[in-house]
Chains A and B, each alone.
Chain A
Amino acid sequence: DGGITQSPKYLFRKEGQNVTLSCEQNLNHDAMYWYRQDPGQGLRLIYYSQIVNDFQKGDIAEGYSVSREKKESFPLTVTSAQKNPTAFYLCATSMGQGRWNTEAFFGQGTRLTVV
């Protein structure tokens, strides 16, 4: 089964705890992205990565961290420094790396609720 897998679909955490959202892909895509979706604000870019061991901050990186140790995986950690972490998080991939003119493919998302 090919595609992008985000897990879990729903996640609940207590305030002050770090939490890591998983994103795995078997599309052999170089580029991976994390977005946050809030009602009325569209998708805002958190971090993106073009190759293994390299990533760049997006527009709202504060309070988040990522790693890209493997091509297939791009986990996002929501830290306690993120002031308003409750949101819907989307992972995406594209062919990237020298082929920037390609579309992004999206996972099903993880809805994080911090209580």
Chain B
Amino acid sequence: AQSVSQHNHHVILSEAASLELGCNYSYGGTVNLFWYVQYPGQHLQLLLKYFSGDPLVKGIKGFEAEFIKSKFSFNLRKPSVQWSDTAEYFCAVKPGNDMRFGAGTRLTVKP
């Protein structure tokens, strides 16, 4: 079955550490790719998106992601995390009119 895989279920980091969250998908053809964040008690917000062009995309709050077509991957990165980045992060793929999400990665940043 086609899917979106997020490899890390829970990541714990100290402030100022670097972050990389993995996302792989199994859909063929052209896809649109997204990372969403859900802060505690808040609704899902878009962090960044990739439609075409430069495979390195920058989003809000210092996040970036790299699309590697050959690896079907769209990993999220941040050079230095802050306590306020504590949240759940979801990778999403839009292979057509539908949008599919991964299981999410819970990030805990210790002050």
Contacts and interface: CB of A to CB of B under 8 A. Distances in A.
Interface of A: 31, 33, 35, 40-45, 48, 50, 56, 58-59, 90, 92, 94, 96, 100-101, 103-104, 106-109
Contact of A96 (B32, B49, B97): B97
A45 B102 contact: no
A21 B6 CA distance: 29
Nearest to B102: A42
Given A41-B103, A106-B44, A101 B98 contact: no
Given A103-B49, A106-B43, A108-B43, A42 B101 contact: yes
Nearest to A97: B97
A50 B97 contact: yes
A94 to B, nearest CB: 7
Interface residues of B, number: 23
A70 to B, nearest CB: 19
Given A100-B32, A101-B32, A103-B46, 9 more contacts: A31-B97, A42-B103, A45-B101, A58-B98, A90-B43, A92-B99, A96-B97, A103-B49, A107-B43
A45 B4 CA distance: 12
Given A101-B32, A101-B51, A103-B46, A43 B90 contact: yes
A41 to B, nearest CB: 6
A43 to B, nearest CB: 4
Contacts of B9: 40
Contacts of B51: 101
